[in-house]
Chains A and B, each alone.
Chain A
Amino acid sequence: MSGTETGYNYAYLDEQTKRMLRRVILKAVAIPGYQVPFGNREMPMPHGWGTGGIQVTASIIGPDDVLKVIDQGADDTTNAVSIRSFFAKTAGVATTTRTEEATIVQTRHRIPEKPLKEGQILVYQVPIPEPLRWLEPRETETRKMHALSEYGIMHVRLYEDIATHGRIATSYDYPVQVNERYIMRPSPIPKFDNPKMDMNPALQLFGAGREKRIYAVPPYTKVKSLDFDDHPFEVQRWDESCALCGATDSFLDEIVTSDRGDRMFVCSDSDYCGDRQAARRKEAAE
């Protein structure tokens, strides 16, 4: 299945590169949370656009797939639109904004609010994959620390957070332990989304383009956010509800609505919010 009318190979990458990436993904699935290095293939987009996630998606996508791409929870940002049209063009796949219709969801910054199902794949774009890097610049040493489960310094970081702020202030890219073994960076999703990774029925794949790593959380795998006994892990909460759909259970973005500094809170997940608004309208009409 090589070649489309566009002149590119199917899903842009050549078959050899895709086979290599699939082997890397299989290894990543076999060792949950472990970062598997791969040879990078240059993609026709700048790194900031999530080339790691795009390469993962390119290697697993097929003509029957339905692709959803979100950026900060929204389907209509420049980044999300261009990735979606890239795969529509090079892989001939159907695209959707609806979480429940998608077979593959490529994401930056969020996990959809609607629960994922078995058979779905969530592909994360990862800017920095190594959770130990903040205190240990040497790659040989971080590899050894992972191999020997020497993870004390992850709690040093949380200790510093509490010492400085009186609580664990880290709110994005909050470190987790996968399957009671490897410490993993979940990419810059809000810690609000961390509990969704735990025992999720979907396959979760993480691609880091710049550092050439892929890691994975297979379906129904334990994912635990690190914490202290006396400072347990907590997610963000809001006093407000969504100004558009009234949701009280979703991640809210604060939006400034006027020069006078008026603000409102709305769901960051535009698909979730849109469904709830439609349901409200229907209810009002009946």
Chain B
Amino acid sequence: MNATDRPLLRVERLTKRYGERFACQDVSFDLWPGEVMGVVGESGSGKTTLLNCLSARLGPDGGRVLYNTRHQGMRDIYETSEAERRLLMRTDWGLVHQNPRDGLRLAVSAGANIGERLMAVGARHYGEIRQAATDWLGRVEIDEARIDDLPRAFSGGMQQRLQIARNLVTRPRIVFMDEPTGGLDVSVQARLLDLLRELVASLGLSVVVVTHDLAVVRLLAHRLMVMRQGRVVESGLTDQVLDDPQHAYTQLLVSSVLQA
């Protein structure tokens, strides 16, 4: 069995408690190369806790997160060293925060924001780093002339696109996204979603995207998990879950009673 016969990420009975309360409980799924998994639920459903556990930022109380590493096969990310985890996070993995200010370095230029991950893995040719930054600005539809501007001079939508470029420049295999369109105007959201969908498809990215917005998963996610009170209450192909919800809670979500 070679690496491509295995999922990129395997989540086994993942559980995280805060005191007596289960923030997420017994969550299991496989994420395959090129696949986009959507996780929906209201705030407090455990979806953000789940994302933090998956992206190596919050140790779970039970269960495992296995990642199919390039050279060592499936490894429990919480049994790797902190050095290995941090290296993964700036090479193989990407993390898109809801608030781009949490994911950008606001005190350095757009070009440096994109180039940082390249320099972190040893790029030492200024001209090549700058060329990569220029290319990525273009790919996320930011005018190349803005390369030396500070991100704080950018609109919210541009900041979010810059954050995405900053993550994708090292060609990660998995990108974790937390409400990537949250806080943006509706028209800006639509443009960002189109861009994300195009990038995910053209790069063959695997993505876990957490959101309360069903429009986001409708457009991006191949598969969907619906979370409530820390548990997955329903999962399946996105269109099936959204068009023919089986669980009463999902039906409520879809009927947008809970959407206001």
A interface residue numbers (CB < 8 A to B): 135, 144, 148, 150, 152-153, 155-156, 159-160, 162-164, 227-231
Check A152–B117 contact: CB distance below 8 A: yes
Q: How many residues of B contact A (CB 8 A)?
A: 25
Residues of the A chain whose Cβ atoms lie less than 8 Å from the Cβ of B125? 228-230
Check A156–B148 contact: CB distance below 8 A: no
A231 CA to B129 CA, complexed, in Å: 12
Contact of A148 among B86, B117, B126 (CB under 8 A): B86
Asked whether any CB of chain A lies closer than 8 Å to the CB of B82, the reply is yes
Check A163–B86 contact: CB distance below 8 A: no
Task: Encode contact with A along B92-122: 1 for CB under 8 Å, 0 otherwise.
Answer: 0000000000000101110110011101110
B interface residue numbers (CB < 8 A to A): 82-83, 86, 90, 105, 107-109, 111-112, 115-117, 119-121, 123-127, 129-130, 147-148
Instruction: Given the known inter-chain contacts A135-B105, A159-B111, A230-B125, please indicate yes or no for A148 contacting B82, CB distance below 8 A.
Output: yes
Q: Which of A144, A156, A162, A231 has the most CB of B within 10 A?
A: A156
Given contacts A144-B82, A155-B123, A156-B115, 4 further A-B contacts (CB under 8 A): A153-B116, A156-B112, A159-B129, A229-B125
Could you give 25 example pairs across A and B, Cβ below 8 Å?
A135-B105, A135-B107, A135-B108, A144-B82, A148-B86, A152-B117, A153-B120, A156-B105, A156-B108, A156-B112, A156-B115, A156-B116, A156-B119, A159-B111, A159-B126, A160-B109, A160-B112, A163-B109, A163-B111, A163-B148, A227-B124, A228-B124, A228-B126, A230-B125, A231-B126
A9 CA to B45 CA, complexed, in Å: 67
A231 CA to B130 CA, complexed, in Å: 13
Residues of the B chain whose Cβ atoms lie less than 8 Å from the Cβ of A227? 124
9 interchain residue pairs of minimum CB distance: A152-B120, A155-B119, A228-B126, A152-B119, A229-B125, A148-B83, A156-B112, A229-B124, A159-B112
Check B116–A164 contact: CB distance below 8 A: no
A152 CA to B105 CA, complexed, in Å: 13
Check A164–B124 contact: CB distance below 8 A: no
Check A152–B112 contact: CB distance below 8 A: no
Residues of the B chain whose Cβ atoms lie less than 8 Å from the Cβ of A159? 111-112, 115, 119, 126, 129-130
Instruction: Given the known inter-chain contacts A135-B105, A228-B125, A231-B126, please indicate yes or no for A163 contacting B117, CB distance below 8 A.
Output: no
Residues of the A chain whose Cβ atoms lie less than 8 Å from the Cβ of B117? 152
What's the minimum C-beta distance from A133 to chain B, rounded to whole angstroms?
Answer: 13
Chain A residue with minimal CB distance to B81?
Answer: A148
Residues of the B chain whose Cβ atoms lie less than 8 Å from the Cβ of A231? 126
Check B112–A163 contact: CB distance below 8 A: yes
What's the minimum C-beta distance from A228 to chain B, rounded to whole angstroms?
Answer: 4
User: Do most interface residues of chain B lie in helix, strand or loop, or is the interface mixed?
Assistant: helix
A231 CA to B119 CA, complexed, in Å: 14
Check B127–A230 contact: CB distance below 8 A: yes
What's the minimum C-beta distance from B144 to chain A, rounded to whole angstroms?
Answer: 13
Residues of the B chain whose Cβ atoms lie less than 8 Å from the Cβ of A229? 124-126
Residues of the B chain whose Cβ atoms lie less than 8 Å from the Cβ of A152? 90, 116-117, 119-121
Check B86–A230 contact: CB distance below 8 A: no
Check A155–B124 contact: CB distance below 8 A: yes
Chain A residue with minimal CB distance to B115?
Answer: A159
Instruction: Given the known inter-chain contacts A148-B83, A156-B108, A228-B125, please indicate yes or no for A164 contacting B119, CB distance below 8 A.
Output: no
A162 CA to B147 CA, complexed, in Å: 13
Q: Which of B90, B112, B148 has the most CB of A within 10 A?
A: B112
A162 CA to B121 CA, complexed, in Å: 20
A47 CA to B77 CA, complexed, in Å: 46
What's the minimum C-beta distance from B141 to chain A, rounded to whole angstroms?
Answer: 21
Chain B residue with minimal CB distance to A158?
Answer: B126
What's the minimum C-beta distance from B10 to chain A, rounded to whole angstroms?
Answer: 26
Residues of the A chain whose Cβ atoms lie less than 8 Å from the Cβ of B129? 159
Check B126–A150 contact: CB distance below 8 A: no
Q: Which of A152, A159, A229, A231 has the most CB of B within 10 A?
A: A159
Residues of the A chain whose Cβ atoms lie less than 8 Å from the Cβ of B126? 159, 162, 228-231
A108 CA to B239 CA, complexed, in Å: 69
Residues of the B chain whose Cβ atoms lie less than 8 Å from the Cβ of A148? 82-83, 86
What's the minimum C-beta distance from A203 to chain B, rounded to whole angstroms?
Answer: 30
Residues of the A chain whose Cβ atoms lie less than 8 Å from the Cβ of B119? 152-153, 155-156, 159
Residues of the B chain whose Cβ atoms lie less than 8 Å from the Cβ of A150? 86, 120
Check A164–B148 contact: CB distance below 8 A: yes
Residues of the A chain whose Cβ atoms lie less than 8 Å from the Cβ of B121? 152
What's the minimum C-beta distance from A124 to chain B, rounded to whole angstroms?
Answer: 28
Q: Which of A150, A153, A163 has the most CB of B within 10 A?
A: A163
Residues of the A chain whose Cβ atoms lie less than 8 Å from the Cβ of B115? 156, 159
What's the minimum C-beta distance from A213 to chain B, rounded to whole angstroms?
Answer: 24
A144 CA to B130 CA, complexed, in Å: 28
Q: Which of B111, B125, B126 has the most CB of A within 10 A?
A: B126
Chain B residue with minimal CB distance to A164?
Answer: B148
Residues of the A chain whose Cβ atoms lie less than 8 Å from the Cβ of B147? 163
What's the minimum C-beta distance from B24 to chain A, rounded to whole angstroms?
Answer: 27
Residues of the A chain whose Cβ atoms lie less than 8 Å from the Cβ of B112? 156, 159-160, 163
Residues of the A chain whose Cβ atoms lie less than 8 Å from the Cβ of B86? 148, 150
